[in-house]
Amino acid sequence: MSIFKNIKGTLQSVQQDLSAGLGLFSSSKDKSAVRSSSHYLSAPSPRVNFEAGADLLNKYQNVWKELHKYCEENGKKAEDVDIQIGSLYIQYDRSLEVFSKLHEELANLPVMLQKLQEVTDTLAQVEEEYDKVEVALIRLQNVCEEEELQKAKISHDLQLKAYREKRFKELNKVKVQIAKEHVQKVQAFEKKHQTQLKERQVVFQEVFEHDIEQYKKHGKIERLPSTPESEKKLDLEDFVPDDNDGALEEFFEDDVGIAPESVGLGTTDLLKNQEKEDKREEDEIDEEEEKQKGLKQEGVDGAEEQKDLKNYKNEENTPVSSGDDQFKDSEDSNTNHIETESSQETMQTTDVKTETKMQ
C-alpha cells in the first residue's frame, strides 16, 4: 500500500514539475517576443545582426516543442496510470477486506468445528430420544387399544348381564303368573269341591231325615226294589267319602316329593323369593354402575389403568358366576315348581274322576 502511495506521489511531483517548466517556457517566450518587438520598433542599430542565433533558436524551439509533446503524452499516460493505480487500489482494498474476513473465519474455524461437533452430538441424542418416543407411542397405542378392548368387553358384559336379568325377570313374571293361575285354579277347584260336598251333605241329610221319619212311623226302613238304576243310585248314596287322605298324600309324596297341602305355602314363598332376588339384582346393578363411574372419573395412566381394569374384571367375574348359579337355581326351582304343578294337576284329575264316580 505504501509503495503505491509513493509511486503516486512521485508521478504527481513529476507532473507538477512539467507544468511549472512549461509555464516558465511560455513566459520566457512571451518576454523574448516582447523584447524582439520592442527592439524591432526601436531604431535599428547598424551593429546588431538580426539573423544571428536563428538556427539555434529554431533548434531550441523544436526541442521544446517535442518536450511539450512528450510532456503532454506523459501527462496522459500518467492519468492512465493513475486510473489503473486507482482500480488496482480498489481491487487491493477489496482483496484486503476479503482476506481479512477469510483470516477471521479461519481464526473462528476451531470454534466452528467445536460447535459442529456439539451439534452432531445433539443430533445423536435427539435421534435416541426420537427412538424412545416412537417406542413410547407404540406402547401408548397398544395401551389405548387394550383400554378400548376392555371398555368394549365391560360394555358387552353389562349388556349380557342386563339381557340375562331381563330374561330372568321375564321368567320370574311367567313363574308368578303361572303360580297365580295355579292358585286361582286351586281355589276354584276347592270352591267347586266344597259346593259339591255341601250339595251331597244336603242330599244325605234329606235322605237321613226321611229314613228317620219312616222309621218313626213304620218302625222299619223301606228299601226300594233293586233295579240297575236304583242300584247305581243306592251305590252313590251309600258311598261315604273317607276324610282320611293319608294314603293318597303318601302316594303323591313318594312320586313327586311335595304334599298337596304345601301348594299355597309354596306360592307365597315363591313370591317372597322373587322379591328378594329382584332387590338383590337391583343392588348389584347399582354397584356395577358406581364402579363404572369410578373408573371413568379416575383417568389413571396405562399400567395403573390395566391393573384397575384387571382387578375390576376379577371382581366382575364373581357376581356374574353367582348370577349364573342363581339363574341355574331359579331354573331348578322352576322345574321343581312345574313338577309340583303337574302333580297337583294329576291330583285334581284324580279328584274329579273320584267325584264323577261318586256322583
Q: What is the pLDDT of residues 170-184, one digit of tens each?
A: 999 999 999 999 999
| pLDDT of 204 strictly over 80 | yes
Instruction: Please state, in angstroms and rounded to a whole number, the distance separating the CA atoms of residues 355 and 109.
Output: 126
Domain range list for the chain: 162-239+246-358
Supply the pLDDT for residue 43: 46
| pLDDT of 113 strictly over 60 | yes
Q: What is the mean pLDDT of residues 288-315?
A: 58
Q: What is the mean pLDDT of residues 25-51?
A: 53
Predicted confidence band of residue 300 (pLDDT cuts 50, 70, 90): very low
Supply the pLDDT for residue 208: 85
pTM above 0.75, yes or no: no
In contact, 186 and 351? CB cutoff 8 Å: no
More confident residue, 256 or 16: 16
Supply the pLDDT for residue 34: 45
| pLDDT of 213 strictly over 90 | no
| pLDDT of 188 strictly over 70 | yes
Predicted confidence band of residue 210 (pLDDT cuts 50, 70, 90): confident
Supply the pLDDT for residue 147: 93
> Which range scores top for mean pLDDT: 49-63, 156-170, 306-320?
156-170
Q: What is the mean pLDDT of residues 219-248?
A: 52
Tell me which of 80-84, 138-142, 212-216 is least confident.
212-216
| pLDDT of 48 strictly over 90 | no
Residues 156-169 have pLDDT tens digits of 999 999 999 999 99
Helical pair 54-218 and 302-358, crossing angle rounded to 10 deg: 20
Cell numbers placing 1: 500500500
Q: Name the residue type at position 294.
A: G
| Average pLDDT score over the chain | 71
Q: The dihedral of CA 6, 12, 16, 17: what is its sign?
A: positive
Q: What is the mean pLDDT of residues 124-143?
A: 94
Q: What is the percent of the chain where pLDDT is above 70?
A: 51
Tell me which of 179-188, 208-217, 254-263, 326-335 is least confident.
254-263
| pLDDT of 187 strictly over 70 | yes
Predicted confidence band of residue 214 (pLDDT cuts 50, 70, 90): confident
Supply the pLDDT for residue 269: 60
Q: The dihedral of CA 65, 66, 72, 75: what is its sign?
A: negative
Instruction: Please state, in angstroms and rounded to a whole number, the distance separating the CA atoms of residues 56 and 63.
Output: 10
Q: What is the mean pLDDT of residues 112-141?
A: 93
In contact, 154 and 288? CB cutoff 8 Å: no
Supply the pLDDT for residue 152: 93
